A and B are shown apart, each in its own frame.
Chain A
Amino acid sequence: MALHTLNQPPGNTQCLERCLNALSDGDALLLIEDGVLATLPAHASRFDAIAANVSLFALQADLDARGLNVLKDARFTVVDDGGFVDLACEQDKVVSWY
């Protein structure tokens, strides 16, 4: 199982699609930096095809910085920097999409 991080905005469709297509059952996806822009409900349908047991997270500092904490779609769980480290420990590897 892997933690995937994505730091590219949804406008970088190649990177977003690459990341989403790489997710396996039990993996976690953490949106960081400009990646958190994909938490907006307008982009929610992009995440419909991924497996139900892939958990979705977004980094709190990056949401806050961009004013997105109140706008984000409910399916993303917000984690702080400690939560980022915890996710990296819980999964057995980290794959960075950038």
Chain B
Amino acid sequence: MSDKKKVLIINRRAPYGRSNARDSLDVALTCGVFEMPISLLFADDGVFQLLGGHQAKDIGQKNLSANLAALPMYDIDQLFVCESSLNTHGLASDQLDHNPTVVDHNAIQQLIQSHDVVLTF
């Protein structure tokens, strides 16, 4: 690795319905292994990835929420969630696992500007 790029991963898709959430987490964990600084932003339907109480066994999938719990072991602790997306879905931040920081549109613009690479899922 020539340098440590700061990577922002934006998660906009709900878990389970499509593979985006799982694909994104696999990328985050891999970048974590390479000790790249990673931030995760959950927005739009992606906020449902943070909701607690997932029980995905009966739909034949792995529990994404349990896998997100592994992030701190990879030194990934910069988690952000979009305030307006929470409002859209009538969710409150205290219903979410993994302690994300609630951010507004201005803060999201700043996140995009302050990272070297932005990936969207």
- A→B interface (CB under 8 Å): 1-2, 14-15, 18, 21-24, 92-98
CB atoms of A21 and B112 under 8 A apart: no
Interface, chain B (partner A; CB < 8 A): 10, 12, 43-45, 84, 105, 108-109, 112-113, 115-118, 120
Q: Given A14-B44, A96-B120, A97-B120, do A24 and B105 touch, yes or no (CB 8 Å)?
A: no
B44 near A22 with CB under 8 A, answer: no
Q: Is the CB of B120 within 8 A of A21?
A: no
Main secondary structure of the interface of A (DSSP, over half): mixed
B108 touches A22 (CB 8 A): yes
Distance between Cα atoms of A18 and B41 in the complex (Å): 12
9 residue pairs bridging A and B, Cβ less than 8 Å apart: A2-B113, A14-B44, A14-B45, A18-B12, A18-B44, A21-B84, A24-B113, A92-B116, A95-B10
